[in-house]
Structure 1
């Protein structure tokens, strides 16, 4: 059975982001995926990269010591699904900290002679499910950093066969019908994942 690691980074379970997270889990389970649901807030993940961790960042023999459980979960997955809101055109701090502390040299990439080589060849599929307060136009004008990070940086370190970026813009003006349409789209996309 294929295994999906779902990284959920929203502090408010009754939010649309929380509902989207539930839709992701339900759709993946419905299609036969084994789901490892990693709720960073519920697990009290510490996003702060310590001075000690930064000093040992490139020491691949010891750099995973503080986050070994998260590294093991990532290495056991066939797919990675990120569920997060976009705040101030960026990730929530807890998700950024997960990337900083878990996607380490020797884990997600090797770096030799200035060349990056992906390590997580087990991750065949990547998806991001996210919400923005801004409109698509404002996100475009700001350069849409979260989309670029997923579709370029995370993609580049994983090299998955399939990548999806499922987004709901303009949360500041969304209607109940718009919420329902977004959740239906999340379900369809995850069932086809």
Structure 2
């Protein structure tokens, strides 16, 4: 299976960077063809330009500025996202990727005023993420990152595609042991992906 791994963390030596490396290593060891897209290392520009916004619904022309990323997304059979939760949302780099790459004609179409998902080439999704705060705090806030993943990503991919959300909460007070356990959990999930 061709797996597009999207990673969004500016510090490669971080725990999130280590999670990213583990995911890629285990996916490759399991025999998957991995397209490792490290948005920071590739210097992806997350800013949607004026021209891009004006041409947002011009299917075909709207993909020109990000054609390489669109091609990679369309070539993927599965998607793995590895990123930290910051301020109860995606890092700006990843949010910008969604704004610029998940375009009309790519992730959805408009058909007589109805939005229709169209990333049906993606047959499996996994999210690997870290939160600074506790799970309780995330729940009290409504856990927007989990909702975004479960309610947006799940809907635009192949209907019924397996979906997993692996989160390490309370990174601000994590220990070597909690990080080791989560790293093990991520490795096992990627072995079975």
> Taking structure 2 as the reference length, what is the TM-score of the superposition?
0.97
RMSD of aligned alpha carbons: 0.8
Residue of structure 2 in register with 1:162 after alignment: 162
Structure 1 residue ranges without an equivalent (≥5)? none
SS at 2:58's partner residue? Answer: coil
Residue of structure 2 in register with 1:185 after alignment: 185
Matches within 5 A, 1:102-121: 102-121=101-120
Cα distance, 1:28 vs structure 2:
0.4
SS at 1:64's partner residue? Answer: helix
Residue of structure 1 in register with 2:29 after alignment: 30
Asked if residue 135 in structure 1 is aligned to residue 134 in structure 2, the reply is yes
Structure 2 residue ranges without an equivalent (≥5)? none
Residue of structure 2 in register with 1:122 after alignment: 121
SS at 2:13's partner residue? Answer: coil
Residue of structure 2 in register with 1:41 after alignment: 40
Separation in 2 of the partners of 1:168 and 1:61? 39
Task: After superposition, give the CA deviation of every residue in 1:67-93 in whole Å (9 maximum; x if it has no partner).
Answer: 000000000000011000000000000
Matches within 5 A, 1:91-110: 91-110=90-109
Separation in 1 of the partners of 2:120 and 2:163? 14
Task: After superposition, give the CA deviation of every residue in 1:124-161 in whole Å (9 maximum; x if it has no partner).
Answer: 00111000000001101111111111111111111351
Separation in 1 of the partners of 2:59 and 2:37? 24
Cα distance, 1:61 vs structure 2:
2.3
Following TM superposition, the consecutive aligned residue runs of length 4 or more in structure 1 with deviations greater than 6 angstroms are none
